[in-house]
Amino acid sequence: MSRYQSTPKTSREIPETSRLLAPDLLKAARSAYGIYLRAHSEQMPRPAGVVVSQGNNRGQLIFAVPPILLPGERFVSFEEIESQMY
Protein backbone atom coordinates (compact mmCIF):
# COMPACT_ATOMS: atom_id res chain seq x y z
CA MET A 1 0.00 0.00 0.00
CA SER A 2 1.42 3.40 -0.89
CA ARG A 3 1.46 6.23 1.57
CA TYR A 4 -1.35 7.97 -0.34
CA GLN A 5 -3.80 5.13 -0.07
CA SER A 6 -6.00 5.17 2.95
CA THR A 7 -6.35 2.13 5.08
CA PRO A 8 -9.78 0.57 5.06
CA LYS A 9 -11.86 1.64 8.02
CA THR A 10 -14.22 -0.67 9.76
CA SER A 11 -17.40 0.84 11.04
CA ARG A 12 -19.68 -0.54 13.67
CA GLU A 13 -23.14 0.80 13.11
CA ILE A 14 -25.81 0.48 15.73
CA PRO A 15 -28.92 -1.22 14.39
CA GLU A 16 -32.02 0.99 14.33
CA THR A 17 -33.86 -1.37 16.66
CA SER A 18 -31.31 -1.15 19.46
CA ARG A 19 -30.78 2.60 19.59
CA LEU A 20 -32.00 4.60 22.55
CA LEU A 21 -34.19 7.62 22.02
CA ALA A 22 -34.01 10.79 24.04
CA PRO A 23 -37.05 11.14 26.31
CA ASP A 24 -38.05 14.51 24.82
CA LEU A 25 -37.86 13.07 21.30
CA LEU A 26 -40.07 10.14 22.24
CA LYS A 27 -42.50 12.45 24.05
CA ALA A 28 -42.84 14.70 20.98
CA ALA A 29 -43.42 11.68 18.71
CA ARG A 30 -46.06 10.25 21.05
CA SER A 31 -47.78 13.62 21.29
CA ALA A 32 -48.02 13.93 17.49
CA TYR A 33 -49.29 10.35 17.25
CA GLY A 34 -51.85 10.94 20.02
CA ILE A 35 -53.26 13.97 18.19
CA TYR A 36 -53.49 11.88 15.03
CA LEU A 37 -55.37 9.12 16.85
CA ARG A 38 -57.91 11.50 18.34
CA ALA A 39 -58.62 13.21 15.02
CA HIS A 40 -58.19 10.63 12.25
CA SER A 41 -58.00 7.12 13.67
CA GLU A 42 -60.92 5.80 11.62
CA GLN A 43 -60.05 7.51 8.33
CA MET A 44 -56.36 6.88 7.68
CA PRO A 45 -53.98 3.90 7.80
CA ARG A 46 -51.45 3.30 10.55
CA PRO A 47 -48.37 5.51 10.11
CA ALA A 48 -44.86 4.13 9.74
CA GLY A 49 -43.71 6.59 12.39
CA VAL A 50 -43.14 10.22 13.23
CA VAL A 51 -40.40 12.57 12.08
CA VAL A 52 -39.46 15.00 14.84
CA SER A 53 -37.61 18.23 14.21
CA GLN A 54 -35.00 18.44 16.94
CA GLY A 55 -34.97 22.22 17.05
CA ASN A 56 -38.59 22.66 18.09
CA ASN A 57 -39.79 19.08 18.81
CA ARG A 58 -42.52 19.30 16.18
CA GLY A 59 -43.77 15.95 14.95
CA GLN A 60 -44.96 14.99 11.47
CA LEU A 61 -46.56 11.61 10.79
CA ILE A 62 -44.93 9.58 8.02
CA PHE A 63 -46.66 6.82 6.07
CA ALA A 64 -43.81 5.89 3.67
CA VAL A 65 -40.79 3.80 4.58
CA PRO A 66 -37.95 4.68 4.48
CA PRO A 67 -38.60 8.32 5.34
CA ILE A 68 -36.66 11.15 3.76
CA LEU A 69 -35.16 13.23 6.54
CA LEU A 70 -33.84 16.77 6.52
CA PRO A 71 -30.83 17.75 8.63
CA GLY A 72 -31.88 18.04 12.26
CA GLU A 73 -34.76 15.57 11.95
CA ARG A 74 -35.08 12.17 13.61
CA PHE A 75 -37.40 9.33 12.71
CA VAL A 76 -39.25 7.50 15.48
CA SER A 77 -40.87 4.29 14.25
CA PHE A 78 -44.41 3.32 15.17
CA GLU A 79 -43.05 0.34 17.13
CA GLU A 80 -40.88 2.65 19.27
CA ILE A 81 -43.82 4.96 19.93
CA GLU A 82 -46.15 2.12 20.84
CA SER A 83 -43.62 0.02 22.80
CA GLN A 84 -44.11 1.74 26.14
CA MET A 85 -47.50 3.39 25.70
CA TYR A 86 -49.51 0.73 27.51
Structure confidence by residue, pLDDT tens digits, 27-57: 999 999 888 888 876 777 888 999 999 888 8
Q: Does residue 33 lie in a domain region?
A: yes
Q: Show the domain range for 34.
A: 21-83
**Domains in the chain, number:** 1
Residue 33's nearest CA partner among 55, 50, 52 is: 50
Query: Is residue 10 domain-resident?
Result: no
Judge whether 36 lies within some domain. Answer: yes
Q: Is residue 72 part of a domain?
A: yes
Q: Report if residue 66 sits inside a domain.
A: yes
Distance CA(19)–CA(7), nearest Å, equals 28
- Distance between CA atoms of residues 45 and 40, nearest Å: 9
What is the C-alpha end-to-end distance of the chain, expressed in Å?
57
What's the pLDDT tens digit per position in 57-83? 899 999 988 898 999 999 999 888 887
Residue 29 included in any domain: yes
